[in-house]
């Protein structure tokens, strides 16, 4: 097991990465305020891991309330959030009851937001079971739900007490979801870690073959990058926005295609290829770099051609992005592989050209 | 105008108290991140003060989105919250758009929670127009909504940038609401400020006659008390819970009678008389003190006899209180007038006796 720390002063917390961690109640017990916990999971993950986690904790005398939600991005909404509230209130869960998120990004975001807002805030723990959640969404305290008018529009910054990334849980992850997680892994290389990007080019086949050592390294390096960025800028006043590379385009793809039809990581992959294309049109990166980026996403099993929603549909969704400031869309673009910048200063024609080539 | 500060380090903010403040845009401008604001108010307050506030800001070039909600505690729920989100999203309000709460406690709690959760948090300003909101709910960052299973069950601690308590707005406040605000004013005297309690005994008639000087003094002294408690314990880990004197009983009354039938301050008054009765039964305060407390609430025009919901109904609601810990209801009780304590150690028979006498 390896342990990193997200250094947020009084809100600092550890990330444990390793095999069979969710069967090890000793890792969780020190982080529970009382021996009461609600485990929030979904119908896909529950049959696989709820019993193991629940039994391990119950054996240590922890009183467990399981809350099992439907699976899928389309359920990341106010109705599902209310199912969590109803269960907690019906079972009279108290301010010191810990919520444990057992699942992927949707479960983590929903559970974290429920924890942020139930009784004005109760403790929570992330036990991510997908690669995407282990390398990205479980770390950093972004929680929330979607709104019909935009993704993650309602939410809170709310940090967990602990992140437990059990690599054994990836054994049961479908290939498509493994690839989706790799999109966020590649992102860290692109925005701030050229050596990691090069390592990914060398080890992509191993990762897709689920080589345990390679996966553990990719997860650790991703979490290190994320923890450093979050520690520098918890509430996204500045540098943290770099983590959204490809996300402004990606959120438009997710919304435009209907939540859940494209996985978040898939939309980020195609969105990042658009961001690279726009960076190239602005003369910031060369043709070769753009091809190198596209190739790595392809080798990760990810879509690299964004859907032909039409320029105006893209622009409409993007104008509602959370990073919009004074009416200007703010883009995360690449200066080189390993270096990203945030800019609101993009020539509209270059943007339209980037979006236009999608009509293939 | 008088100004106090709620001392919360990087989240510190001023409270301005005085006449005609909401027509003075100069007080608000320094606290806006951009010249964009949404004013959230209700159908009762809008015709009285929305024009004045809105015109003053618009004259300084601030772009204003008015959001007018139905009036009443029964609308402090997820549906009304969603009306705010919908308006903000439809008008593409951004992360630096400031939400301004113009109204009483319901508007402040709803708007604050919307601000805490829209795009994971936008700035907000409290412009309380009721006595209760000016002396209590607008200060300290408690925000939230009710749930069918309990009051304020969903919410967040989220501090405003500024509180603007315009005493002129009290001119249009119905007598019943003025009295409801006095319940929270009396509370400060009871829990930590005997000289203020004595001042209230001497000046209650002036307050009910809306003597401006007396009201301004009562508001300032209340806000000073609240600001000190909140600065010592922002997230209610300890001493802040003393501010809930009468509230555990009071919330049971509000829920049991149907939200909005008893005003919050009315329920707190009757609930505090119950808390005083329980304190007396435990031998902590004398019969004379209990009578003195009851008398002051009566002179404030408040109900002092709690409704006969039945012991078990009371206990049922109280068991769902946010202060419950390890299944024990935690009470705020009085050691004397001017000194309160929190205890989970109350003999059930004494509690039942206190609740039983309500069956009159």
Question: What residue spans define the domains of chain A?
Answer: 2-172, 175-356
Q: How much is the mean pLDDT over chain A?
A: 95
Asked if residue A357 has pLDDT above 70, the reply is: no
Name chain B contacts of A118, Cβ cutoff 8 Å.
Answer: 153-154
pTM metric for this prediction? 0.94
Q: What is the pLDDT of residues B335-354, one digit of tens each?
A: 999 999 999 989 999 999 99
CA distances A74 to A10, A79, A260, A269, B179, Å, are 35, 11, 6, 20, 47
What count of residues does chain A have? 360
% of chain A at pLDDT higher than 90: 90
More reliable by pLDDT, A151 or A71: A71
Residue B102 backbone phi and psi in degrees, to 5: -115, 100
* Torsion-angle region of B74 (φ positive above 0: left; ψ -120 to 50: alpha; else: beta): alpha
| Alpha carbon B240 to its chain's center | 13
pLDDT tens for the 360 residues of chain B, in order: 999 999 998 899 999 999 999 999 999 999 999 999 999 999 999 999 999 999 999 999 999 999 999 999 999 999 999 999 999 999 999 999 999 999 999 999 999 999 999 999 999 999 999 999 999 999 999 999 999 888 899 999 999 999 999 999 999 999 999 999 999 999 999 999 999 999 999 999 999 999 999 999 999 999 999 999 999 999 998 999 999 999 999 999 998 998 889 999 999 999 999 999 999 999 999 999 999 999 999 999 999 999 999 999 999 999 888 878 888 889 999 999 999 999 998 999 999 999 986 544
Mapped onto helix, strand or coil, the DSSP state of residue A59 is: coil
Give chain A's contact residues with B (Cβ, < 8 Å): 34, 78, 82, 85-86, 89-90, 92, 94-96, 113, 116-121, 142-144, 147, 149-150, 152-157, 235-236, 319-320, 322-326
Of B92, B150, B325, the CB nearest to A89: B150
CATH homologous superfamily of A175-356 equals Dehydroquinate synthase-like - alpha domain (1.20.1090.10)
Q: Is A352 noted as a catalytic residue in this protein? A: no
Asked if residue A178 has pLDDT above 80, the reply is: yes
What does DSSP assign to residue A151?
E
**Residue A36: closest CA among chain B residues belongs to which residue?**
B326
Residue with tokens 């009578």: B291
- CATH fold, domain B2-172, is Rossmann fold (3.40.50)
Å between A34 CA and nearest CA of chain B: 8
Å between A299 CA and nearest CA of chain B: 34
The class of domain B180-356 in CATH terms is mainly alpha
Å between B150 CA and nearest CA of chain A: 8
What does DSSP assign to residue B97?
P
Residues A87, A88, A89, A92, Cα dihedral to 10°: 120
Which pLDDT belongs to residue B156?
Answer: 98
Exactly one of A76, A187, A221, A251 is catalytic; name it: A251
DSSP A231-246: HH-TT-SSGGGGGGTT
Which pLDDT belongs to residue A359?
Answer: 47
Integer Cα distance of A93 and A98 in angstroms: 9
Name chain A contacts of B147, Cβ cutoff 8 Å.
Answer: 85, 89
Asked if residue A39 has pLDDT above 80, the reply is: yes
Integer Cα distance of B331 and B321 in angstroms: 10
Integer Cα distance of B356 and B329 in angstroms: 18
Name chain B contacts of A144, Cβ cutoff 8 Å.
Answer: 117, 120
Which pLDDT belongs to residue A358?
Answer: 57
Q: What is the pLDDT of residues A294-350, one digit of tens each?
A: 999 999 999 999 999 999 999 999 988 887 888 888 999 999 999 999 999 899 899
Which pLDDT belongs to residue B337?
Answer: 98
Name chain B contacts of A117, Cβ cutoff 8 Å.
Answer: 113, 117, 144, 154-156
Integer Cα distance of A152 and A143 in angstroms: 8
% of chain A at pLDDT higher than 70: 99
Name chain B contacts of A153, Cβ cutoff 8 Å.
Answer: 85, 89, 118-119
Instruction: Evaluate the CA torsion angle B304, B310, B311, B316 in order and state its sign.
Output: negative
Which pLDDT belongs to residue A360?
Answer: 45
Integer Cα distance of B169 and B171 in angstroms: 5
Residues A274, A276, A277, A278, Cα dihedral to 10°: 90
Q: Taking residues A48-75, what's their average pLDDT?
A: 97
Which pLDDT belongs to residue B319?
Answer: 86
- Give the containing element (helix H, strand E) for B113: helix B105-117
Residues of B with catalytic annotation?
120, 142, 184, 226, 236, 240, 244, 247, 251, 264
Q: Is A244 noted as a catalytic residue in this protein? A: yes
Q: Which of A109, A115, A120 has the highest number of chain B CBs within 10 A, making it the mutation to test binding with B?
A: A120
């Amino acid at each position: 097991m390896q342990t990193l720390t997200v250094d947020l002063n009084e809100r600092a917390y550890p990330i444990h990465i390793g095999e069979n961690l969710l069967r090890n109640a000793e890792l969780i017990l020190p982080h529970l305020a009382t021996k009461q916990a609600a485990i929030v999971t979904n119908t896909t993950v529950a049959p696989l891991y709820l019993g193991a986690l629940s039994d391990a904790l119950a054996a240590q005398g922890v009183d467990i309330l399981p809350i099992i939600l439907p699976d899928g991005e389309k359920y990341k909404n106010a109705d599902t959030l209310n199912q969590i509230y109803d269960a907690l209130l019906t079972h009279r869960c108290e301010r010191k009851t810990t919520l444990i998120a057992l699942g992927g990004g949707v479960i983590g975001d929903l559970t974290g937001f429920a924890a942020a807002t139930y009784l004005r805030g109760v403790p929570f723990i992330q036990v991510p079971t997908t690669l995407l959640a282990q390398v990205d969404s479980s770390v950093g305290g972004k929680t929330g739900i979607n709104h019909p008018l935009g993704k993650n529009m309602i939410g809170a910054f709310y940090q967990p007490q602990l992140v437990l990334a059990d690599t054994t849980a990836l054994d049961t992850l479908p290939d498509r979801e493994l690839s989706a997680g790799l999109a966020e892994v590649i992102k860290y290389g692109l925005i701030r870690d050229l050596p990691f990007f090069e390592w990914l080019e060398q080890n992509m086949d191993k990762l897709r073959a689920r080589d345990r050592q390679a996966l553990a390294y990719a997860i650790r390096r991703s979490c290190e990058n994320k923890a450093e960025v979050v520690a520098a800028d918890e509430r996204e006043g500045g540098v943290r926005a770099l983590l959204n590379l490809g996300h402004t385009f990606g959120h438009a793809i997710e919304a435009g295609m209907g939540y859940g039809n494209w996985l978040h990581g898939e939309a980020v992959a195609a969105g990042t290829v658009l961001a690279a294309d726009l960076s190239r049109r602005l003369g910031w990166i060369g043709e070769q770099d753009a091809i190198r980026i596209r190739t790595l996403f392809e080798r990760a099993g990810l879509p690299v051609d964004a859907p032909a929603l039409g320029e105006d549909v893209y622009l409409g969704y993007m104008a509602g992005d959370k990073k919009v400031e004074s009416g200007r869309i703010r883009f995360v673009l690449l200066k080189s592989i390993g270096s990203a910048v945030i800019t609101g200063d993009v020539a509209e024609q270059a943007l339209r050209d980037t979006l236009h080539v999608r009509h293939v």
